Every structure is written in C-alpha cells, then in structure tokens.
Amino acid sequence: MLPFQEQIIAELLDEPGGGLVVLSSGLSLETLVSALLRLHSPSQGTLLILSASEFQKSSVLQCLRRSPDLQSTHGALSPVPAEIPGDLPSHHRSSRYTSGAAFFVSPRILIADLLTSRCPPSALAGLIIFNAHQLADTSTESFIVRVVRSANRNAYVRAFTDSPQAMVAGFAKAERTMRWLGVRRLHLWPRFQVQVSSDLEVSPPEVVDVRVPMTGAMRGIQGAILGAMDACLKELRLTNKVDVEDLTVENGLFKSFDEIVRRQLDPIWHTLGMKTKQLVADLRTLRKLADYLVRYDAVTYLKYLDTLRVSEGVRSVWIFADSSHKIFEFAKRRVYQVVREGLKLIGGAGIGIKRKRQKGDNREESAGGSPFSKIGNGERGIDIGVVLKEVLEQAPKWRVLRELLEEIEEERQKNVFSGDAKLENSNDNSGIILVACKDERSCMQLEEFIEKGSQKVTQEEWKKYLLDKVESLGLRKKNKKMSQAPEGFGVLNAETPVGRGENTGFNSISQLENDALLTAASEIINSAEVKAVSESTSDAHAETKRHGKGKVGKGKARRCVEAVLMSGGKNKINKIMDATKSKVEVKSTLHGECGVVDVGGLEESTDDGPSSETVAHKHNLLPDQTVCSVNKPLPPVQLYALESGQNILDSLKPSVIIVYHPDVRFVREIEVYKAENPSKELKIYFLFYEDSTEAQKFEASIRRENAAFESLIRQKSLMMIPVDRDGHSFGLSATKESQSLVSQNAITRKAGGRIASEKEMQVIVDMREFMSSLPNVLHLRGMRVIPLTLEVGDYILSPSICVERKSVMDLFQSFTSGRLYNQVETMVRYYEIPVLLIEFSQDKSFSFQSASDIGGDVSPTNIISKLSLLVLHFPRLRLVWSRSVHATAEIFASLKANQDEPDETKAARVGVPSHDGIIENDARAENYNTSAIEFLRRLPGVTDSNYRALMDGCRSLAELALLPTERLAKLMGGQKAARTLREFLDAKCPTML
C-alpha cells in the first residue's frame, strides 16, 4: 500500500463510528476495502459489505488474493469474504450473520433479515458501503443503517465513493449523505492533495504525449456537430425551463448532461412541447456523433449516419439545421466521391445536377436528374461518364499506432543485439504492450487492423457497405411500391422537400449517386472476391442463417440491384451493365496504410459496460504475418476495453502502455500501479486528436473533478452534523417526535388532554416490495414493517384492507400482460376493501398524459379507458393516487385510522390452499359453491356474460339440468346458446364394450 492509502485507513480506524471517504477516480478504492477486511477480526463481529458491483467484488477479491499472505493483524487466517445469496435458506443465513466473518450481501436481503430478526444487529461489527454517491433518504442502505444503529450504537459505518462530481449534485449532497449514514467524519482525498501527489510522483513513468492531427473532413464534421449542438442549446435556452449555466457545449460532451437536463425537466415534462422534448433527444444524438467521430473508422461512421437518417424522422431539429448537411457530406467524402464529366460530386450529386440544369439540359430536368432515366425507353443511353472514387479514409490514429509498434519492436531488437537481453527478460519487464481502447468494438477494430493489414480489411469493409446499401435500397424501393401515397415526405425514402420548379426525387442521396453505388456493388457481385466476404459473413452469422436471417448473399444482392434499377424492364438492366463496364470507372485512393473493419451497429454504452469475459485480446504476430506496405515486425499486443472495468495492470504487468482513448480513471490507475512498482520500467504513450472534442473532454473531466473537490472542501468547512449527548449522529429518526406531537394535539378534547398510550401501527409488506423505497418511508414514520411472502396484494393495512401498489411504468406493463386483472380479482375475492395504489415519482410530473392527449371516446389503447373498464368490472375496487412515496405513507396512516392491526399469520395463509384444498378466508367460498361455479362456467354455451343469470335462475346444477330449452334461452339470452347447452346435457355417454 502507498503511504496516503495507509493514512486513509488510519483515519478511518481512529473514528469509531466510521466515516465517508471521497476519492479521486482511479485511486484504487478496492485496495482500501481489502485492507480493512484484512484488519477485521472475527471477535469484533460480522462485517457486511453492501452495494458492491460485480466488478468491485472481483477487484476486492483480486486484491486479497494478490497480497503476500492472508494473515490478518490478529494472527488468524483472514478468509476471503463470501456472498450471501437470496436463495440460501433462512437458517443458513442466520448462522452466517453470527459467524463473525465478512460477507457480501444484497441490501434487499439484509433489510428483510433485519426486520425478521434473522440477522441480530448486536452480532454486527459494522457495515462497508460502496457507491455512497448513489444513496438517498429513501434508499435501502439508509434504512439498514437506521435499523442497525437503533439496536447497536457501537456498529461502525464506512462508506466509499470515487465520484466526487455526483457528491456535489443537488443542495448539500455530502452533508445529507452523512446524515443518512449516521457518520460525522468526511475524508476528502483529491489527486491534488499534497500527500497523494508526492506519493504518485516519486517514480513517475516515462510519458510521451502524441498529438495526432485530424483530417480536413474530420475537422469539418466536428465543427458542424458543435455548431448543431450550439444551435440546439440556444433553442433550449429560449424555453426558460432549464438553468442557463448548465447549457454549455462543454457540458454537452458528457453523459451526465442528459441527467442534468432531464432532472430539471421531469417535473414539467407533461407541459413541454414536442420541440423541447426533441431538443433533449437531439443533444444526446449529437453527443454520440462527436464521440463516435474520434472512436470509429470512416465507413462505420457513415453507416451510423445512414441509420440516423432513417431513425431520426422528420421531427428531428438538428437534422434540418444549417450545419447538419455538412456532417453527411463530409462523412461521405471520407469514404467515396462521385465525379461526372469533370464535375466533382462530393458524396451526393446535387451540385452536379444543378450545374447541368444551368446549362439547359431540359431532358435531364424532366427526368428527375438521373442520366439513366431514359434508358428503358431507348431514347438515350449513358452518354455521361461516371467515376466512383473510393477514398476510404483511415483513422489518423491507426497510422500513428503502427509507427509506435514498429518503433517499440525496433528498440527491442536493438537491445537484444546490444546484449541487453537480460533486461528484456527480467521479471520487472514482461515485454507486454497494452493498448487501452474505449470499448470492445474499438478493440475488434484494432485487432483486425493489426492482424490483416490495412488494404485488405478496408476493401472488405467497403464491399460489405455496398452490399448493405443494395439491400437497404431494395427494401426501400419495395416499400415505396406498396404505398404509392405515403403520409408526410421522404426522410424514410432519403428524400427532402424541393423548391418550386424542381421535381421530387433523391436529393441527399441522388439518383446518380445511387446508380454509381449499385453499379459498384454489381461489379463486386460478379467478381470472385465476393466469395471471401460471403464466407466471413456466414461464419459470423452461422446460427442466424439457420433461421433464415442471414446477411445478403450473392443471389439476394443481385435481385436487390435489379429491383432498385429496374423501371423499364429487363432490357434496361442489360444496358446498364454493358454501359457501365465501359463508362463507369471505379478508382481506389487509399489514404495511408491502414484500414477498417466491421464492428456492427453502433449504440451508446450502458453503465454496466460490455461483458468481462473478453477483456484483453492477445496477438502474437510474427514478422512474416504482418501485412503492410513495409513488412516490419510487430511486438505482441494486448488489447484492453476500458469500459469493462477490469483492473488488469497488476496481472499483466505491461512494460509499454498505449492509451488509444484517454480516460482519467485509467490514467490514475497507471499512476498508482507505477507508484506501487517503482523499480518497474514503464513507458506510456497518449494518443490525442489535436484540437478535438476528445482532448477537450479529457481536460474538462479533470477540471470538473477538481471543481467538485473544491466545492466539497468549502462545504466541509461549513458543515454542521447534529449529534446527541453520546456523540452519535441523529440521522433521520427525529421525525417521530413531530408525529407524536401532532397525534397528541388531535386528542386534547378527549379526557381533558390526558396523554393516551399510542399503539404502534403495523404494516405487512410483501418481500418483493423491498426493492422499492416505500417500506423505508413507512418505517421512518414510526410504523412497524413486517416482511412476508404474500400471495395476494403487496401491503396489508388491516384485516379488511389490501393494497396493490403500482408505479406508472408497472401499471402500463400490468395492463399489457393482463397480470393486473388477476391481481385485482384475487383481492376482491379475499378482502372487503381492495385498493389499487398508483404511485408517481416525486421528481416527475403527476400526470399520465397531457390534457390534449385525452380523447372523449373509449379506446382500447388508452390507459384512462383501461382504468375505467377495470373499475366498472370490479365495483368494490378503490383507486388511490399518490404523488410520491411520502404521500403514500400519509395515505396509509389515514387508511389505518380506526382499523384493527393485521394478523401476519392469517395474511400469510390468504390465497394458499391447505392440504385439503380448502382456501381459508375465501369470501366467495363463503357465499357460493366455488367448485360448482367453475364447473358451470366450463359448460358449452355458458359465457362470462350469462353465467351469473344462470346462477340467479336456478339453485343448483341438478335444477339446471332439468330446465327446458325455453327457460334456458330466457336466462342465457339466446336460442343458440340454450340449444348448445341442452344438447350437451341430453347427449348420451358412450358405452365401453
């Protein structure tokens, strides 16, 4: 451990009640937790670890196993902490809680065991809580701390977080978090702290900052994206709905910007117009575009733009901005160009067609701008030469990466020849080169680039792009023929409205450009090179092809080409194919040496990250295996995805690290790794795009973290934590006093104001409801929460009141699946007062939909109509609307007034058949013969609309069997149903011979 880490542990041990530790990201938080686990003694009690992610659990276990020995400071063997799963039997969980060891446990399981006394609080030594920045007053962790502290004042709580920006979000977030945890000490350890800086800079690694210039097209795309983002921000400022200070382009580059904007707009989301909502979505799309520009290659970026052209729709604001067309034009310019008679058509053919019209070619104007438009009628052939130039611009970082790898290998060869082989093979120099990328897709790209070389990979990617283009145009043409008069215009058909005097047609993707691309695709289909692409595609999608969902094959692609080009018969296809062989020339001008690979569709990465199964990819390339213009050997390379979250520096021990996509957290991890291994020779290369959003985002993240720590330091100097006479924090338990005063004032007219003994309210809660925050709020109001596994309802307030709680999202899903109908039916059967509670989120609008969306007629898709039909079908059902969880707690308190407390034994048996098949407390079974009713409803001709009339018209099934057909027709509402039932009752049973 480093000295500053030992200092953090010492400060935590000095405070018996624990504390809150806020670290800079990447300063090895898991090392601190593993040190605390080694210092734990079983004689102190059981130590429980809460809210740890899977990555954090594996990192803690890795740190413990990596230590020289597992001997604790008390001399006993310190075991690796195990996990307490939810499916473990209760008696096994109870034995583990009292064993004195350390365990990982889910907060939902622990709070249920605490309330049922399976986990005695007196047996706990303390709690270690990860991700303290995610806590709130209604979170389960604060519920656990309050229950443990109420029964065991000596238990400590040690919380950790490495997200200082989240700790300054909102008003006094750090102070409120400390109150929820019941701690008094706040430990701040930023990167600029004196001791941290001195420890990490004792033996710094050799750092090489490589600034890679962007191409002209990349600079043009980046400028257009920033211009579109600034335009959207200006429009959003005009709404006067969002804090203006947060609306900056720099903040728009981070994922947290979406959360900031939505947090401010959620309470009034139902009052916003469609334009404002679309602006929020457009800012998220533009942030993706800026991120993918520096992360992926040119062809993949163009693929993503093609999907946006279809998916964004006509309501998108940014796609019709002045600078948005530059994004598409520059993206095409990086991949291909179309040249015709000396006129260069960059990406599209709009400029060339316009110039041709100015020259007075009326035939082309009337034909919609395509030189192939008259071929089918034989009026003119292809009299204009078309040249499709394949640009296939490589990512500038790829060339720099290859140069760095070649330089590293040359240095190694020199060291070997000069007699420094011992230095290369020593333990401190493993010779591993680690390349850190943002995600798995980037690793796949670099893997293909290093293994195959640039030219081959680039050509394969271009061929796949053309085949995908053929397929998309073929499907678009088919849909256009099916619907001759579509609503709206043409974003789905790649069309935009044209001015007066112009014919409608392809504008952003002109007809001339489509013909050139399809011609190039037909050349690929007819060549033998398409076999390699088909084989690679079939290998990657073998399982999908078995179900008929494979990629475009040769025959399908040919059919798509014919479907797109065909407007005058098969003769036209032959003329095009013959003419293009002599007129159309396909040129290839590869910029640089390296190419691109197919990484599939692009989507924004989740907080969970990709799978950790393939964290690093190893490449052992021999000199003769390297495919490049200059056959130079490359060293072995390990590719690492930063979003996987795995800490592999201690296991791989690389000698050279190439940070392909800079990340602040990974930079700090490198610093800690080098400080822990001062004798290790380590060289680091940072690859930045010069004057790019990548460098701007990296620098801004450091400034944001420093500003967050400065704000926390100011808050700490002014912080006031209330404590009692014993020095313990009050937390949030003081709210009970105000409630008791209110209840006493309410009975001052009774018995002269004599203080009556107030009984404790009890609420039976289903075990599955502990995933929500309502049980925490109920306990905070002084109610006794009894966790049980309920078959009927979610909350039992009294012997006669049963509540089914639904959030807004769960309500929609329950209606869709039909689960809500069955739940309400069982509540009506067993309880006198069934209640459906619809609970809204506190920070969102208290409305299903805006007033303009509510129609006057009943609609099967409208949520209001569904609720109306549900209440009509179950007249005894009560609907309760709640603004938040705190309002729900007040509603429960008012419903429980003058009601008896529920019996947990009876509540657990409701809806559960006994050994004899009898269900206790079945209200319907007391009034009706349920078995006979179920038999009646299964008879032919009996439906849900007439079985109640049959029950009222006869007293038993025997009497029903004797009724004549005329009487049955009167009861069942029709002769057909009566005859069906009569024939079934009179039918003879078959005899067995």
The pLDDT value recorded for residue 708 is 93
Q: How many Cβ atoms sit within 10 Å of the Cβ of residue 542?
A: 10
Residue 134 lies in a domain: yes
Q: How many other β-carbons are positioned within 10 Å of the β-carbon of residue 822?
A: 11
C-alpha distances (whole Å) from 969 to each of 247, 962, 972, 976 are 72, 14, 5, 8
Within-domain flag for 424: no
Which tokens hold the place of 320?
């019709």
Give how far Cα 392 sits from Cα of 155, 222, 454, 533, Å.
64, 18, 11, 17
What phi and psi values does residue 337 have, to the nearest 5 degrees? -135, 150
Same domain, 129 and 19: yes
Tally of domains in the chain: 4
How does DSSP assign 833-869, residue by residue?
Answer: EEEEEEE--TTS-S-SS-GGG--SS--TT-HHHHHHH
pLDDT score at 12: 92
Residues 303 and 226 in one domain: yes
870/950 same-domain check: no
Query: What CA–CA distance (Å, rounded) separates 505 from 497?
Result: 9
Distance, CA of 645 to CA of 573 (rounded, Å) = 54
- Looking at the domain assignment, is residue 323 inside a domain? yes
Q: Is residue 449 part of a domain?
A: no
Q: Is residue 347 part of a domain?
A: no
Go through 191-204 and write b for each residue having 16 or more CB atoms within 10 A of its CB, e for each that does not: bebeebeebbeeee
CATH number of the domain bearing residue 830: 3.40.50.10130
Residue 15 phi, psi (nearest 5) = -95, 110
CA nearest to 635, candidates 435, 781, 775: 435
Task: Tell me the CATH number at 945.
Answer: 1.10.150.20
User: Of the candidates 142, 172, 202, which is a domain's last residue?
Assistant: 202
Residue whose C-alpha is closest to residue 922's, from 939, 934, 936: 934
The answer to whether the beta carbons of residues 94 and 73 sit under 8 Å apart is no
Q: Count CB atoms within 10 A of the CB of residue 517.
A: 20
3-state secondary structure 334-400: CCEEEEECCEEECCCCHHHHHHHHHCCCHHHHHCCCCCCCCCCCCCCCCCCCEEEEECCCCCHHHHH
Tell the burial category of 154 from Cβ atoms under 10 Å away from its Cβ (0-12, 13-18, 19+): middle
pLDDT at position 33: 92
First CA to last CA across the chain, in angstroms?
Answer: 89
DSSP assignment letter at 213: P
In a domain, 709, yes or no: no
> Residue 7: inside a domain, yes or no?
yes
Same-domain status, 963 and 883: no
The values of phi and psi at residue 826, to 5°, are: -70, -35
Q: 715-720 long-range contacts, Cβ below 8 Å, gap at least 24?
A: 715/168, 715/172, 715/174, 715/175, 716/174, 716/186, 716/188, 719/174, 719/175, 719/178, 719/186, 720/175
- 178 with 254, same domain? no
Q: How much is the pLDDT for 889?
A: 92
State which of 202, 237, 261 marks the end of a domain.
202
Whether the CB-CB separation of 12 and 175 falls below 8 Å is answered with no
Full domain range(s) for residue 83: 3-66+79-202
Based on the fold, state whether residues 49 and 164 are members of the same structural domain.
yes
Pair 118, 156 in one domain? yes
Bridge partners, residue 689, by sequence: 212
pLDDT value of residue 802: 94
- Considering the entire predicted model, what is its pTM? 0.73
- In this structure, are 222 and 286 located in the same domain? yes
Are 805 and 901 in a shared domain?
A: yes
- The last residue of a domain, from among 313, 340, 367: 340
Residue type, 430: S
Co-location of 169 and 284 in the same domain: no
Determine the Cα–Cα distance for residues 819 and 870; give it in Å rounded to an integer: 12
Do 197 and 220 belong together in one domain?
A: no
Q: How far is CA 606 from the centre of its chain?
A: 4
Dihedral, CA of residue 932, residue 935, residue 940 and residue 945, to nearest 10: 60
Length of the chain counted residue by residue: 993
CATH number for the domain that contains residue 109? 3.40.50.300
Asked whether residue 706 is assigned to any structural domain, the reply reads no
One domain, residues 161 and 233: no
Query: What pLDDT, on the 0 to 100 scale, is given for residue 853?
Result: 60
| Contact of 467 with 533, CB cutoff 8 Å | yes
Q: Identify the pLDDT of residue 127.
A: 94
Nearest to 899 by CA among 755, 751, 761, 764: 761
Average pLDDT, consecutive stretches of 10 residues, N- to C-terminus, the chain (993 residues): 91 90 91 91 92 89 73 54 87 90 92 91 93 89 91 91 89 88 91 92 89 90 87 80 69 71 72 78 87 88 84 74 84 82 46 35 38 34 60 87 88 75 51 88 85 76 79 58 41 35 43 75 66 54 42 42 40 40 41 36 40 39 38 80 82 89 91 90 90 87 92 89 64 45 50 58 91 90 90 91 91 87 87 92 73 64 84 89 92 90 86 58 53 83 83 87 90 90 85 55
